[in-house]
Chains A and B, each alone.
Chain A
Amino acid sequence: MIRPLLSLGLLACAAMVLALGLGSVTVPLPDLWQVVQGEGSALNRTLLMDLRLPRTLAAFATGGLLAVAGALMQVLLRNPLADPYVLGLSGGAAVGALLAMLAGMGTLLISGSAFAGALLATLLVFGLAHGTGSWTPSRLLLTGVVVAAGWGAVITLMLAITPSYKLPGMLYWLMGDVSYARTPWPAMVVLVFSIVLIMPLARNLNVLARGPMQAAALGVAVRPLEWTIYLLASLLTATAVTTAGSIGFVGLIVPHMLRLVLGNDQRIILPASALAGGTLLVLADTLARTAIAPEQLPVGVITALLGVPTFLYLLHRSR
């Protein structure tokens, strides 16, 4: 049970070293080591500690948040296709952020507005789909997809009426871009906090994956558990979107790939999602920085290019 997590942890470290070393200026391993020890040239120190390290940590935290949010929503909806992006939560956050940008607000207010948008989108989707009983998984997914389409229309409308000099920043935000992250720490703290909170509940989630009635018969207080997951997944999504814009499909691909290899024990899948999601986004961001350097690609483009075929393959296989 510990071994897969250990391997993923090592993989995450390797990805971070790679991300720190690669870029406009390649920093070889010995120089990296010098900086870690507090030595090395001033240029290297600034480059690594002030630029690359915060960005790498932000990418890691964002990827981890999205993957864990996806894994949680998949159990909540008992549907392996659920994901914050597919359910329209990222769309709501994007509308919030664009509104703030359009009004010419500062970075902090843009973040706050994106956070509010994500929470509003969650409330909207879960509230509309709730109906009288508990959440029917198919109804929730359908509601999410339709609401996501609605956000898409609102975003297009806003882009159409935006003065052209403001467009580049908005587009980058919509596609997801880690360079927007001012500091990695809020995302890191939320990630660690949520993993610590969710681990004692992980076996409950295993039972919930068998359906709410079966879970109740096995001693799970289903309704409080569902609310906890729902609130936590919203918080994770909102934090991720606030940190780096709307990055799609990490929450979809990562938990699914892990389930194929490790089975569906949430006690492993949840921490593994945090590690693998983080690793994936660190690598994707490194690729985004270096692929057509000195130009930078938005990292959301890279995850979407990976995610769309994966999603279609999943749909195709699931009858």
Chain B
Amino acid sequence: MSTLHSRDLVINIPGRSDGFPLNLNIESGQTWGVLGPNGAGKTTLLHTLAGLLPARSGQVVLNDASLKELKRRDIARKMGLVFQERQDSFPATVMETALIGRHPWLSPWESEQGEDQALAEQALAALEVDHLSDRMLNTLSGGERQRVAIATLMTQNPDVWLLDEPTNHLDLHHQVKVMNLLRDQAQSGKAVFMCLHDLNLAARWCSHVLLLYANGDACWGRADSMLEPSALEQLYNQKLVTVVADGASLFVPVRFGSKLQNG
């Protein structure tokens, strides 16, 4: 089990003032949702937390060690990331793609063994893409590729899961499937931290929420205390109505006069 902390972290968004420094404690068992308008820095934050982008100030700490002091390989054993955009310049099968998740666990001369294969097969089955395992990635639909990417992270099996819009391109059934899977993973000891576009997915599945404002302000905490309609309206500069359905509060944007007066 690992925990990820940010200490006075200011992410580097070109042309934006520093904003509010982030002191996050992302711990085992928690499911975090990051909400914010386009361009607020959700992806930049995720990449900074993963150590792929330099912070403007502050630092990211993984289990008491600053990311800067750790080797990439050691980081990759503890923390993994699903990107929003993926490159596939060279053709590869679904199975090969899932198996690259084992990379940080294998020494240079080792090749994937039966147990690595088994982990990949389990992950592909959990994401309902096991029937595609011999297909070329570039012949799949966007939603199927998204599920393969999540299966790759599951094969990597780190303690801290970072995901950039994991429900992108997914149909309703698979949105629910993926969100349940992420919550189950958190309950079995993982720490899950994801950017989400859909407010209501965060409201229904996340234990913690980080609101990231366009001007760099931020606030975070337990989901039930954070999801206040007024704060969310401010966040998206959009009037909302709250309805209760399926045992949870849901937020629906109003169609007319949607812009806030003071926004």
Proximity string of chain A (212-254) to chain B, C-beta cutoff 8 Å, 1 when within and 0 when not: 0110111111100000000000000000000000000000000
In whole Å, how far is B154's beta carbon from the nearest beta carbon of chain A? 13
* A217 pairs with B89, CB closer than 8 A: no
Within 8 A of A (CB), among B98-119: 100-101, 103-104, 106, 108-109, 111
Residues of A within 8 A of B51 (CB): 216
* A210 pairs with B103, CB closer than 8 A: no
Cα(A137)–Cα(B51), bound, Å: 23
Stretch of B58-66, B68-76, B124-132, B233-241 on the interface side: B68-76
* A78 pairs with B89, CB closer than 8 A: yes
Residues of B within 8 A of A207 (CB): 100, 103
How many A-B residue pairs have C-beta atoms within 8 angstroms? Tell me. Answer: 79
Stretch of B78-86, B210-218, B244-252 on the interface side: B78-86
A218 in contact with B76 given A201-B108, A203-B108, A206-B100 (CB within 8 Å): yes
Residues of A within 8 A of B73 (CB): 219-221
Interface residues of A (CB under 8 A from B): 1, 78-80, 137, 200-201, 203-204, 206-207, 209-211, 213-214, 216-222, 259, 263-265, 267
In whole Å, how far is B112's beta carbon from the nearest beta carbon of chain A? 9
Contact with A211, one of B86, B101, B111 (Cβ below 8 angstroms): B86
Residue on B nearest A74 in the bound complex, by CB: B90
User: Is B47 close to A, CB under 8 A?
Assistant: yes
User: Is B18 close to A, CB under 8 A?
Assistant: no
In whole Å, how far is B134's beta carbon from the nearest beta carbon of chain A? 11
Contact with B76, one of A201, A206, A213, A217 (Cβ below 8 angstroms): A217
In whole Å, how far is B191's beta carbon from the nearest beta carbon of chain A? 16
A210 in contact with B101 given A200-B108, A221-B71, A263-B96 (CB within 8 Å): no
In whole Å, how far is A97's beta carbon from the nearest beta carbon of chain B? 33
Interface residues of B (CB under 8 A from A): 47, 50-52, 71-77, 80-81, 83, 86-93, 96, 100-101, 103-104, 106, 108-109, 111, 156
Task: Please list the 4 inter-chain residue pairs (A to B) with the smallest Cβ-Cβ separation, ordered nearest first.
Answer: A219-B76, A219-B104, A200-B108, A211-B87
Residues of B within 8 A of A211 (CB): 86-87, 89
Q: Can you name 10 extra interface pairs (CB under 8 A) apart from A210-B88, A210-B100, A218-B101?
A: A1-B111, A79-B89, A217-B50, A217-B80, A218-B76, A219-B71, A219-B76, A222-B72, A259-B91, A264-B92
In whole Å, how far is B62's beta carbon from the nearest beta carbon of chain A? 13
Cα(A201)–Cα(B106), bound, Å: 12
In whole Å, how far is A116's beta carbon from the nearest beta carbon of chain B? 32
Residues of A within 8 A of B156 (CB): 218
